[in-house]
Amino acid sequence: MMNIKTSLIIIIIATNVIAFSQNWYSDLFKFEKTISEITELVSPSVVVIANVNNSNEIISFGSGFIIRENGVILTNFHVINGANKLLVKLADDTIYDVEGIIDFDPDIDYAILKIKVNNLRFVSIGATENLKIGTKTVAIGSPLGFEYTVSDGIISQVRHNGNYSLIQTTTPITFGSSGGPLLNLYGEAIGITTAGFEGGGNIGFAIPLHHIKGIKANNLSVKYSMTQFLKLYGDKVATQNSTGTHLSDSDGNWILWLIAIWLFWGILPPA
């Protein structure tokens, strides 16, 4: 008869084998898609996020993407920072108020929003811990207000700073694209498109999704009402001058300062 210790070892081994088998089986039947197929698959899950003032004038806007069918949306923090009121426009042109904020981090530059709607198409989350240089990528966003623009490129490098990293990509990222998904060829989101540079060649940056706390949690609930969030980060609308990320933005964002140092002082640490 097996003792308790032996039984526990067998259970642990069996559990790991089952988990490995499930991942192996899942990966075995994943096939790369064409850009047209990715566009058709993901575009319905990409949204436009607008900062609106008291006169309902759009002050600034960016992109975002749905990560749960019940209206959970991922974007950049700088897209919503300084808002007076936030509106989300879906691919079918319906417009929703933001119900509240699930989580945010001004330094990493992400925010998870919630709108009150169900049965939405959402973007699957891909693995980002071991990205390969040269991997093809696709971005969907609203550069300069041209909604649902699709562009492609590759992962140029993965830049590290302590515990944090950024995906450097040749995929074009311009004003209005901030907050949209950077996708692999399986149509899975691997990053949030965050910054691009005028006259900087094909240099863009995205935040790898493994830096987003709880992104794979089953239950994502609102932690901050819009009233609570706006008390902390609202009433700066008049000072916002972009529909994307400028290096001149003075929001103290760790991501922007790090990119500025890398680019202008030539400190470009690779992976």
Given the residues 60, 63, 78, 251, select the one marked as catalytic: 78
Consecutive H or E run containing 191: strand 189-196
Active site (annotated) includes residue 109 = yes
Active site (annotated) includes residue 178 = yes
- Are the C-beta atoms of 133 and 155 separated by less than 8 Å? yes
> Reduced to 3 states, what is the DSSP secondary structure of residue 80?
helix
Active site (annotated) includes residue 160 = no
Nearest to 124 by CA among 194, 16, 33, 17: 33
With vertex at residue 262, the alpha carbon angle to CA 109 and CA 195, rounded to the nearest 5 degrees, is 40
- Rounded to whole angstroms, the Cα distance separating 197 from 244 reads 10
Nearest to 158 by CA among 181, 138, 185, 130: 130
CB atoms within 10 A of CB 129: 8
Question: Which residue matches tokens 């071991």?
Answer: 130
CA distances from 85 to 53, 56, 129, 270 (A): 6, 9, 35, 39
Consecutive H or E run containing 258: helix 254-265
- Rounded to whole angstroms, the Cα distance separating 185 from 219 reads 27
Given the residues 60, 103, 178, 251, select the one marked as catalytic: 178
Given the residues 60, 109, 151, 177, select the one marked as catalytic: 109
The residues that are catalytic are: 78, 109, 178
